[in-house]
Chains A and B, each alone.
Chain A
Amino acid sequence: MKLFPVLLLFCLYSGMLPAQQNKAADYGLDTALLPCHNCTDSRISEYFSVGGKYPESSMSLVHRVNVHIAQKHITPEQDGFITFRFTINNDGKVSAFRLYMVDEQYKATRFSQEFIGALYQFVCGLQEWKTKLHAREKPVCYYNYYLSFRCKDGKITSVAP
């Protein structure tokens, strides 16, 4: 126990791995959280805790996002994964964006502003977010969601989740 006071001096948190960096602000994504109307609970759930998976299939999203980027004559300039995390309020509106990008080896990388902008526009255009969800019989005011786009050979090959 002699060691205990000494130990407390060293009890400063230091993560084993650096947290992956959120690049939303660098790309001008909207990082502010939209208000939630008539909310009594400001907690943010995860989509899988409240049954909030987007109703359109991943297969359909892959098709639509490829059409979207083709119409803009934009292709991903490298292979990798781009993840947008965001929060949906009880009106089904998205806000508070976070952005993570990795290459094929899951190492941090950057994609072009133009390509990220096109994907961001696609995500903001999705309209079928679930609302009026409940968790433990209480209405859900906010929930987090993510969409991760895998880029391979100049196109989007998959969308998670």
Chain B
Amino acid sequence: MARLLLWLLNGTATLTLTVFGATAPNTLCHNEQWRTEVTQHLFRHYYYPGPEWQHYCDSVLQICPDYDYLWQMKAMPAVKMGIYELAFASLSHAVVLNREKQLPYQAFLKCTFAKDYEGALLDFEESERMISGGGLMDHSFSFYKGLCYLGLNDPQKAVDELEKDILQQTKRSGKGNEHYNSLFYLGLAYLLSKEYEQAEAYLKASIKAYSRFPDANFYLGRLYRIQRRKTLAATHLQIAKDALQSGASMNEDNNFYVDYPYQAGLSDIEKEIFALCFFD
């Protein structure tokens, strides 16, 4: 039965085997090997922005509507194309089926892609209650909460969350091994809070870990401009510009798809360099 279903799915991505919904044994849908084969086939044979990807997911979900990962896979391309109704309707099924795993993912998509910072914060709060000290996509929940507060123009709360994130990393990996993006965002949160000494320390620490980090150099340059340290400002802004033009970036996996909060582009850097002309 399992082989027959897989064969049918493989050959007829656009056909939905509605009738199987009633006949497929429950054990099949929870068979790990079958699930693996189904998802492997999806990745090998379909391009995720295409309609066939959606049709294939629909076909599997007609048979196994409680397969949360397939709901997630239905949501993923839609959110990357800005089609939020489809994305979050699909994801809501996944969250109902596997709250502990899917709620943090939903929070991540709201924070990073949709930039729905209020919605993301609610989901991250609940995720944290379920999985204390948890995280996803290389970062802690506190890191993303910090980003949300930055997006909501509340830098002081962002500082609180990003400090927690740094503390968590220090406890786990020792001092000096913190992620450069954590250090950068904490420095930025201090900069926006007008706590310049702390901002400088964290932005410099981020640059120490990743010297050609465009955004850390850009905001350190801005900080120096605010402090009227023209030479240092010009140096860091030029590094930021050169780094960005040569393809350096934040190095977050999803940066390829979407800008992260406060991420600078070339025109932002050029405006900042231009502002230095009116310095004296």
Contact = CB atoms under 8 A, between A and B. Distances in A.
A160 B115 CA distance: 7
Interface stretch (A29-37, A54-62, A70-78): A54-62
A158 B49 contact: no
B256 A59 contact: no
A102 B80 CA distance: 16
A138 B49 CA distance: 20
Residues of A in contact with B, size category: 35 or more
Contacts of A91: none
A14 B59 CA distance: 9
A142 B158 CA distance: 40
A16 interface: yes
Contact of A160 (B12, B17, B114): B114
Interface in A31-46: 46
B49 A10 contact: no
A100 B16 contact: no
Contacts of A57: 259, 263-265, 267-268
Interface string A118-161: 00000000000000000000000000101110100000011011
B82 A85 contact: yes
Given A100-B84, A106-B88, A144-B49, 15 more contacts: A11-B12, A11-B15, A11-B17, A15-B58, A16-B62, A20-B84, A20-B86, A48-B257, A81-B114, A85-B81, A85-B83, A104-B116, A146-B81, A146-B82, A160-B258
Interface of B: 8, 12, 14-20, 23, 49, 54-55, 57-58, 61-62, 65, 74, 78, 80-90, 113-116, 119, 151, 256-259, 262-268
